Amino acid sequence: MKFREEVEEERRMLQMAEVWREERVQMKLVDAKVTLEEKYSQMNKLVADLETFLSSRSATPAPDAEEMKKAEFLRQAAALAFVKAQKTKAYFKSFQVKFKRRRGGKTDYRARIRLTNQDKNKYNTPKYRFVVTFTNKDIIAQITSASIAGDMVLAAAYAHELSHYGLEVGLTNYAAAYCTGLLLAHRVLKMLEMDDEYQGNAEATGEDFSVEPAESRRPFHALLDVGLLRTTTGNRVFGALKGALDGGLDIPHSDKRFAGFNKESKQLEAEVHHKYIYGGHVAAYMRTFSLMEHIKRGLEADGTEEMYKKVHVAIRADPSARKSEKQPPKEHKRYNLKKLSYEERKAKLIERLNALNSAARADDE
């Protein structure tokens, strides 16, 4: 009896599929992806499969589990052949527009809310973030904190400032990112008068370094904000992080993303990291290919490490920001006519009339 009921159910489904097809033909619904002829062929194929299945079921006395699954699949396929997702008016009325920087793909608000939320028992204490941004020709490192009015920047350092310290080319590589982070760290500590207590790492060896708290004041604490960057191993943002750590900032981190981390041994190879900090990968490239800007300035591959060492020493000596010398604005010439007074216009008219009268007398003579 159960088997007969299933057969009757299949026949009813077949009839419903036929009725469904006729109704859709009358409604003249056209799918965006599949043409109407393809829909007809799909439905005919489903009907043929159902007929084949029913004929095979009538020959066999007992149903099989696989056949039952196939019948269920065909039943669902017949029911969903012409279903199209419809967004109703209520959907659009209740649609909530996302934030502007989310629509523009600029801010990850899931990460931002975790970087900016502050404990209530800390009251109005700012929660600082170490933000690193890369452009085509520059690196921007900032210490920021969130407020109601927007993000407030405590201090900033730019890669184009490294020209004052002896680095004029290659301002966007891993070594330049390290120098930018080092410059920002020393600049912040000097601004807060903490540079004497926290000197940081005297020389970059490539090994991981974390600042130890002093007896008087705790180290400056900040959180790394990578934005939308992919945090791959050896990314330049971790070069800036390493520079900030060596500069004396307290930033929670792991050495797994520094350049030179071995995934198999799960250890940081300090020699490889040292090579990237001092531009060894750039020097290796210079030995194979010619870099025009380096050639113009007489820079050689063998002197790359010494150049970066001098830059680090210069940054530690004077990290303060320098004001650029701006040229005074030029005096623009004015070509509009000066407005004449009534007396001046009257005198000018008399002069023109006298000139015309004298010209007329000359013609008469």
Residue pair 204/239 in contact by the 8 Å Cβ criterion? no
Residue pair 258/208 in contact by the 8 Å Cβ criterion? yes
Please name the amino acid found at residue 67. Answer: E
Answer yes or no: do 191 and 298 share one domain. Answer: yes
Please name the amino acid found at residue 364. Answer: D
Question: H/E/C letters for each residue in the chain?
Answer: CHHHHHHHHHHHHHHHHHHHHHHHHHHCCCCCCCCHHHHHHHHHHHHHHHHHHHHHHHHCCCCCHHHHHHHHHHHHHHHCCCCCCCCCHHHHHCCCCCCHHHHCCCCCHHHHHHHHCCCHHHCCCCCEEEEEEECCCCEEEEEEEEECCEEEEEEEEEHHHHHHHCCCCCCCCHHHHHHHHHHHHHHHHHHCCCCCCCCCCCCCCCCCCCCCCCCCCCCCECEEECCCCCCCCCCHHHHHHHHHHHHCCECCCCHHHCCCEECCCCEECHHHHHHHHCCHHHHHHHHHCCCHHHHHCCCCHHHHHHHHHHHHHHHHHCCCCCCCCCCCCCCCCCCCCCCCCHHHHHHHHHHHHHHHHHHHHHHHC
Residue pair 279/305 in contact by the 8 Å Cβ criterion? yes
> 348 in a domain, yes or no?
no
Please give the tally of structural domains in the chain: 2
Answer yes or no: do 181 and 280 share one domain. Answer: yes
> 330 in a domain, yes or no?
no
Please give the Cα distance from 31 to 34 (Å, whole number). Answer: 6
Whole-number pLDDT of residue 36: 60
- Over the stretch 72-96, which tens digit does the pLDDT of each residue have? 777 776 666 566 778 899 999 999 9
Answer yes or no: do 21 and 138 share one domain. Answer: no
- Over the stretch 297-355, which tens digit does the pLDDT of each residue have? 888 888 899 999 999 999 999 999 988 888 888 888 888 888 999 999 999 999 999 99
> 121 in a domain, yes or no?
yes
Q: What strand order describes the sheet that includes 139-147? A: 150-158, 139-147, 128-134, 223-225
Answer yes or no: do 248 and 143 share one domain. Answer: yes
Answer yes or no: do 32 and 121 share one domain. Answer: no
Query: What is the pTM for the complete model shown?
Result: 0.68
Q: In this structure, what CATH number is given to the domain that contains residue 258?
A: 3.30.420.100
Answer yes or no: do 170 and 283 share one domain. Answer: yes
Answer yes or no: do 162 and 295 share one domain. Answer: yes
The single residue listed with the structure tokens 């109005």 is: 124
Answer yes or no: do 176 and 38 share one domain. Answer: no
> 365 in a domain, yes or no?
no
Answer yes or no: do 133 and 259 share one domain. Answer: yes
Which tokens go with 239?
């070069």
> 334 in a domain, yes or no?
no
Please give the Cα distance from 295 to 172 (Å, whole number). Answer: 18
Answer yes or no: do 72 and 130 share one domain. Answer: no
63 burial level (CB within 10 Å; 0-12, 13-18, 19+): middle
Please give the Cα distance from 312 to 181 (Å, whole number). Answer: 11
Please give the Cα distance from 280 to 311 (Å, whole number). Answer: 15
Q: How far is residue 273 from each of residues 104, 182, 205, 337, measured CA to CA in Å? A: 35, 16, 8, 68
Answer yes or no: do 73 and 129 share one domain. Answer: no
Please give the Cα distance from 269 to 207 (Å, whole number). Answer: 8
Please give the Cα distance from 124 to 104 (Å, whole number). Answer: 30
> 90 in a domain, yes or no?
yes
Nearest to 178 by CA among 231, 247, 225: 247
Answer yes or no: do 84 and 125 share one domain. Answer: no
> 57 in a domain, yes or no?
yes
Per-residue pLDDT of the chain (365 residues; tens, 9 = 90+): 556 677 677 777 777 777 777 776 666 555 545 566 676 677 777 777 777 776 766 555 555 777 777 777 777 766 665 667 788 999 999 999 999 999 999 999 999 999 999 999 998 899 999 999 999 999 999 999 999 999 999 999 999 999 999 999 999 999 999 999 999 999 999 999 998 999 989 888 899 999 999 888 999 999 999 999 999 999 999 999 999 999 999 999 999 999 999 999 999 999 999 999 999 999 999 888 888 888 888 888 888 999 999 999 999 999 999 888 888 888 888 888 889 999 999 999 999 999 999 988 888 77
Please give the Cα distance from 13 to 71 (Å, whole number). Answer: 11
> 213 in a domain, yes or no?
yes
Which residue segment(s) compose the domain that 283 sits in? Answer: 117-317
